[in-house]
Amino acid sequence: MGNDNDLEYILLRNYLELTNTSRGLLLRMDFDALEKIESNTWFHKFEGEDIEKGKRIVKSIIQQEIIAKIMIYIEDLAIISESLSRGVNYYTLLDKKETPEGIQDVGDILKEFFESIDKLSQKDFSKIMSLGNPEGYAINGEEKQLLEKALEFEKEEYTKTFKKLKDFGTEHHAVFRRYKHAGFYSKKDGYAICTVEVKKNTLNLCYSVTKKDIITVNSFVKDLTGKGHWGIGNYMSEIKTEMDIEKSIPLIEKVHNFKVK
């Protein structure tokens, strides 16, 4: 194997053994959090005049995260399938490329893959699933027919599965797009309620308001007015612990209430 193939193998092996497993674990944690919020056993105790509103805000954020994790999995599965069908390195498909038709990115590849799923040939399906070609086996007659029938059945099941994934993706794409660009959408003015910058050991949570007196500046909340920073809005908290998450929830509620009132 060449160096590129070795690297692709190692990265995809890590993806299957670590990333995919971790994503499944995080999904279970998200669903568990939703159940605990409903039963009032979550680590954050909702208090104040409108407890149900606070619950709805947090549940909405968690639900968007669930959709995003599933959508990322669907994208990964489609890109891996396309790379196997084309016989190219998976990671080369993640980069933008110039083509005679213009710039091609991951979105274009995904669209092309799902639009052609009904036209998937047995040869391409065999490449994707790493199956043998019946023509390459020293069999004939009834045995060959049985193998071809089994492969055709598997191709039909694969196609049905990806059609369901396509329908799920189409239905939830708007939610995923908002999450992917780190914003929780507010219908009133089209701005985010909060945006998140992910760092190595912390999160920078930016409250997406510029109006003064909505968020009180203190040791937990910084005023970034006039300073360059990632995220939308002038106020930010650094999230390091669960306690910081708990402290940020009432502030997110304040921004939400300001924007949707």
CA–CA dist 201, 173 (Å, integer): 29
Structure tokens given for 193: 């309620």
Listed as ranges, residues in the chain with pLDDT below 50 are 1, 181-190
How far, in Å, CA of 94 to CA of 78, rounded?
Answer: 12
Yes or no: say if 68 and 180 are a contact pair by the CB < 8 Å rule: yes
Q: pLDDT value at position 16?
A: 67
Query: Could you tell me which of 177, 143, 252, 160 has the C-alpha nearest to residue 207?
Result: 252
pLDDT for res 61: 77
CA distances in angstroms from 81 to 50, 78, 233, listed in the order given: 48, 5, 40
Task: DSSP letter for 223, please.
Answer: E
- pLDDT at res. 24: 80
Instruction: Give me the pLDDT at residue 184, please.
Output: 45
User: What's the pLDDT at 218?
Assistant: 94
CB 110 within 8 A of CB 78: yes
CA distances from 186 to 28, 124, 191, 257, 258 (A): 27, 43, 6, 10, 10
Residue 71 Cα distances to 68, 84, 99, 134, 171, angstroms: 5, 20, 26, 34, 11
**What pLDDT score was predicted for residue 127?**
84
DSSP character for 134? Answer: G
The pLDDT score that the predictor gives to residue 4 is 61
Whole-prediction pTM: 0.56
The 8-class DSSP code of residue 133 comes to: P
DSSP state of 36: H
